[in-house]
């Protein structure tokens, strides 16, 4: 019995993914739970497992395909057992009662429908009805004698559209190829001979997700920014003393202290640990910190669960592990979702301050700059101190300026008096 293997929704915000590689070839046998492909979802790569044991009879979406919509058919698996085909497609009002929003049509398994006089066989016609397609695409397929169930749809939710029918008939391939060779600006106009030369760098799935989310964030979320300068001499001294006494190889960075301080500040001022919805503000009971990590494909933000309940050594070890696996592309989708607040540190690059973009649906992100010697005034005298600029980017729908200031000042006190983080 054939089973359609579809692009799964592994992250709540996921609308499309990419097929990185197939580990199983057409005609090979697989067992239930065996990894048959690698798919790129949002900002990580995940393994796609076979839902049942059987034979992979057809790969619909080849390796390297991008922007594959959630729910699109990736491959067909012939299960071991009776030869019955089950067509599962979104129900249409004309098909009568449905089961869970899908129509099930059982029929004896067969090869591709035989074409007679420009039309398809009766059972193939039944499959035509079950396939989700636009009226124009359905009419064109009927006139051409094309079985719509064999066409991979590129429309919303895998819907077959006019371009898919033309592609299946081989009528617009040359036009598409000729267009793809023409250099164009983002506006679509051809480049003139006087235009500067350039290297074409195709967008990865990760970069497309980053662009989509951050563009939406700046377009929808009313950002405001608060900045404070924190003196970190006492913190650096405490870190040196801890490192000198640790014999188990524990390594602590300034970033580890900052993450601990952010988690404790969110516990004391929970207004920043929230999200906006149209009906209510969601104030989270847990503090799950997303930590921004730069990778070769773009910035990802793995999540440290219950960050306020973990000590410095545990936090440091977990952050190092997540960062290493993020750079190797070995994070799971679960480790990238559910963050309630984000911390982003560019101090290691010598950046003085960072005005980050809020990572929706969170209400805030804390940007950390470099800890550098600066002149400050203490008791009327100018002295040298190690200062770090800390910037809060916040969603004004959730936070007012006073609430954001309370969080940022709590963070400042913890950073400047690090022993209080040990309590």
Q: Does some domain include residue 141?
A: yes
Residue 139 and residue 160: Cα distance in Å, rounded? 12
Residue 143 and residue 119: Cα distance in Å, rounded? 7
What is the pLDDT, as a whole number, of residue 171?
61
Do residue 138 and residue 69 come from a single domain? yes
User: What is the helix (H) or strand (E) element at residue 88, kind and residue range?
Assistant: strand 84-90
Do residue 32 and residue 125 come from a single domain? yes
What is the pLDDT, as a whole number, of residue 99?
33
Do residue 25 and residue 110 come from a single domain? yes
Local confidence band at 130 (pLDDT 50, 70, 90 cut-offs): low
Q: Which residues pair with 364 in a beta bridge?
A: 394
300 CB neighbour count, 10 Å cutoff: 26
- CA distances 234 to 52, 260, 423, Å, are 59, 16, 16
Do residue 253 and residue 153 come from a single domain? no
> 337 pLDDT exceeds 50?
yes
Mean pLDDT of 65-74: 87
Do residue 286 and residue 392 come from a single domain? yes
> 110 pLDDT exceeds 70?
no
Residues 6+ apart with CB under 8 A from 24: 30, 34, 36, 37, 50, 56
Estimate to the nearest angstrom the gap between the alpha carbon of 99 and the chain centroid.
31
Cβ atoms of 86 and 112 within 8 Å: the answer is: no
Higher pLDDT pick, 262 / 169: 262
Higher pLDDT pick, 383 / 110: 383
> 122 pLDDT exceeds 80?
no
- CA distances 199 to 66, 183, 205, 373, 419, Å, are 20, 11, 19, 41, 52
Do residue 128 and residue 242 come from a single domain? no
Do residue 92 and residue 165 come from a single domain? yes
What is the pLDDT, as a whole number, of residue 181?
44
What are the pLDDT digits (tens) for 159-218?
Answer: 787 777 777 776 644 333 344 444 444 444 555 556 688 888 888 777 888 888 899 999
Ranked by mean pLDDT, the top range of 143-157, 293-307, 394-408 is 394-408
Estimate to the nearest angstrom the gap between the alpha carbon of 301 and the chain centroid.
10
Percent of the residues in the chain that have a pLDDT greater than 90, as a whole number? 43
Higher pLDDT pick, 225 / 44: 225
Higher pLDDT pick, 20 / 343: 343
> How many residues are recorded in the chain?
423
Question: How would you classify the pairing of strands 84-90 and 102-108?
Answer: antiparallel
Higher pLDDT pick, 372 / 97: 372
The CATH number covering residue 148 comes to: 2.40.50.100
- E-state strands within 152-219: none
Do residue 149 and residue 270 come from a single domain? no
Higher pLDDT pick, 208 / 226: 226
Radius of gyration for the alpha carbons in the chain, expressed in angstroms and rounded:
28
**Total domain count for the chain?**
2
Q: Does some domain include residue 205?
A: no
- CA distances 386 to 47, 75, 244, 324, 348, Å, are 46, 58, 21, 28, 15
Lowest-confidence range among 44-48, 87-91, 196-200, 256-260? 87-91
Which pair of tokens denotes residue 94? Answer: 């004309």
Domain boundary among 157, 178, 199: 178
Do residue 274 and residue 396 come from a single domain? yes
What is the pLDDT, as a whole number, of residue 191?
52
What are the pLDDT digits (tens) for 341-398?
Answer: 999 999 999 999 999 999 999 999 999 999 999 999 999 999 999 999 999 999 999 9
Triad 64, 48, 53: Cα angle to 5°: 120
Do residue 255 and residue 172 come from a single domain? no
Residue 182 burial class via C-beta count within 10 angstroms: exposed 0-12, middle 13-18, buried 19 and up: exposed
Residue 253 and residue 247: Cα distance in Å, rounded? 16
The CATH number covering residue 322 comes to: 3.30.559.10
What is the pLDDT, as a whole number, of residue 107?
38
Q: Does some domain include residue 368?
A: yes
> 37 pLDDT exceeds 50?
yes
Do residue 261 and residue 339 come from a single domain? yes
* Angle of helix 401-416 versus helix 254-268 axis, rounded to 10: 130
Nearest Cα to Cα of residue 13 among 218, 223, 164, 213:
213
Residue 242 and residue 234: Cα distance in Å, rounded? 12
Q: Does some domain include residue 124?
A: yes
Q: Does some domain include residue 71?
A: yes
> C-alpha dihedral over 415, 420, 421, 423, to 10 degrees?
180
Domain boundary among 143, 178, 213: 178
Higher pLDDT pick, 142 / 25: 25
Annotated catalytic sites, by residue?
A: 396
Local confidence band at 296 (pLDDT 50, 70, 90 cut-offs): confident
Q: Does some domain include residue 195?
A: no
Do residue 299 and residue 352 come from a single domain? yes
Q: Does some domain include residue 193?
A: no
Lowest-confidence range among 40-54, 168-182, 333-347? 168-182
Lowest-confidence range among 60-64, 167-171, 256-260, 381-385? 167-171
Cβ atoms of 71 and 155 within 8 Å: the answer is: no
Domain boundary among 124, 144, 178: 178
- Record the pTM: 0.62
Q: Does some domain include residue 214?
A: no
**Residue 317 domain boundaries:** 222-422
What is the pLDDT, as a whole number, of residue 51?
87
């Amino acid at each position: 019995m054939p089973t359609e293997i579809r692009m799964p929704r592994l992250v709540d915000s996921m609308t499309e993914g990419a097929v990185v590689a197939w580990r199983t070839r057409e005609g090979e046998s697989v067992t239930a739970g065996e990894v048959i492909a690698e798919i790129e979802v949002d900002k990580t790569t995940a393994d796609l497992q076979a839902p049942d044991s059987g034979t992979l009879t057809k790969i619909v979406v080849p390796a390297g395909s991008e922007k594959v919509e959630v729910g699109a058919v990736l491959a067909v698996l012939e299960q071991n057992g009776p030869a019955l085909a089950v067509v599962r497609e979104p129900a249409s009002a004309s098909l009568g009662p449905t089961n869970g929003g899908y129509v099930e049509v059982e029929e004896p398994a067969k090869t591709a429908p035989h074409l007679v006089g420009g039309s398809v066989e009766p059972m193939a016609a039944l499959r035509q009805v079950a396939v989700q397609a636009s009226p124009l695409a359905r009419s064109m397929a009927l006139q051409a004698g094309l079985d719509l169930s064999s066409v991979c749809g590129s429309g919303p939710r895998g819907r077959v559209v006019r371009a898919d029918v033309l592609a299946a008939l081989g009528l617009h391939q040359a036009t598409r190829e000729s267009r793809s060779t023409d250099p164009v600006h983002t506006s679509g106009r051809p480049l003139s001979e006087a235009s500067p030369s350039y290297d074409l760098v195709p967008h990865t799935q990760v970069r497309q997700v980053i662009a989509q989310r951050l563009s939406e964030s700046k377009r929808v979320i009313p950002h405001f920014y608060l900045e404070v300068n924190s003196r970190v001499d006492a913190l650096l001294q405490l870190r040196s003393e801890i490192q000198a006494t640790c014999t188990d190889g524990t390594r602590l960075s300034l970033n580890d202290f900052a993450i601990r301080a952010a988690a404790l500040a969110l516990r004391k001022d929970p207004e920043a640990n929230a999200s906006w919805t149209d009906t209510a503000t969601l104030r989270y009971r847990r503090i799950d910190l997303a930590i921004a990590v730069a990778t070769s494909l773009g910035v990802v933000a793995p999540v440290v669960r219950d960050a306020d309940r973990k000590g410095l050594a545990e936090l440091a070890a977990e952050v190092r592990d997540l960062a290493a696996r993020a750079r190797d592309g070995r994070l799971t989708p679960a480790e990238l979702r559910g963050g309630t607040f984000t911390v982003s540190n560019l101090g290691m690059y010598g950046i003085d301050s960072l005005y980050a973009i809020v990572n929706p649906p969170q209400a805030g992100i804390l940007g950390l700059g470099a800890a550098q010697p600066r002149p400050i005034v203490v008791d009327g005298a100018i002295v040298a101190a190690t200062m770090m600029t800390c910037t809060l980017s916040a969603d004004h729908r959730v936070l007012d300026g006073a609430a954001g200031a309370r969080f940022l000042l709590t963070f400042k006190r913890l950073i400047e008096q690090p022993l209080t983080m040990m309590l």
